[in-house]
Amino acid sequence: MQVAHTAAALRAALAGKTGTAFVPTMGNLHAGHVSLVELAKQHGQPVVASIFVNPLQFGAGEDFERYPRTLDADCDRLAAAGCDLVFAPDVAELYPVAQTFTVQPPDALANDLCGAFRPGHFAGVATVVLKLFNLVQPRVAVFGKKDFQQLFVIRALVEQFNLPIEIVAGDTLREPDGLAMSSRNAYLGTSERIQGAQLQRELAAVVTAVEAGERDFDALAASAARHLKMAGWRVDYVALRDAATLQAPTPASNRLVVLGAAWLGNTRLIDNLDFSLPAASP
């Protein structure tokens, strides 16, 4: 496996390659990332993974400085998974001058859900992803479903800029108790780690209620948020949305997603479950 730290080295390694499959990451990799690499191998060769903690998507007071950086261990894990090339630039390489040109998703998307609590986050995500797409020029790019809103932003980015890239979504990998795998899980203390699985359970309860016929979506989301707050969580949001539009469900919606973001202590966890509505009775 090759490791490139500069754009020039990356381009040299990919010269003449047309079927690249790309997995962007921020490093501190876990089994969920490995599953994305394995999925990428089914869609293209060579497989390229990037490792870059992007300052543009972190707001004031967020965890940019303390975000775990484990490049050597990450490279070992990627090599074992069959990755062909790792692009691991530093900030100066990817942002050699101040990034005054940025990609701005529409306000209705950028300022909703996670965006309402992380101003500028999705502009930072879209900007760095467009940069990485330009450098790697993949045929396929693989993103996890755990950050459903991010996946939605990237799909819209590709469509809006007419990029010849297929976006493939990888399912969320979970711990045995249901907690979605995340690099930030390492921040959780012992008792917080045990409690962390409650977020998935509350979202699953919403899915069960909808599948049983409940249609007061706001009340179901409010109930899930209330249960989390009673257990000591600080809830940013729980919401039910149309999975195809990320807007409020309509009578025509046939696939929904329930999304949640909440804090345990100093750790913010996100999760979601997407599901089909039962077919209406004739």
**Residues designated catalytic:** 33
Q: Which residues contact 210 (CB under 8 A, 6 or more apart)?
A: 217, 220, 240, 256, 258, 275, 277
Burial of 21 (0-12, 13-18, 19+ CB in 10 A): buried
Instruction: State both tokens at 92.
Output: 């100066």
Eight-state DSSP code of residue 222: H
Alpha-carbon distance values, 194 to 31, 178, 179 (Å): 19, 10, 9
Q: E strand or H helix at 136, and its extent? A: helix 121-136
Cβ contacts of 236 within 8 Å, gap of 6 or more: 114, 116, 117, 261, 262, 263, 268
Q: Residue 64 corresponds to which tokens in the numbers above?
A: 């940019």
What's the CA gap between 276 and 256, in Å, rounded?
6
Inter-residue contact 83 to 48 (CB < 8 Å): yes
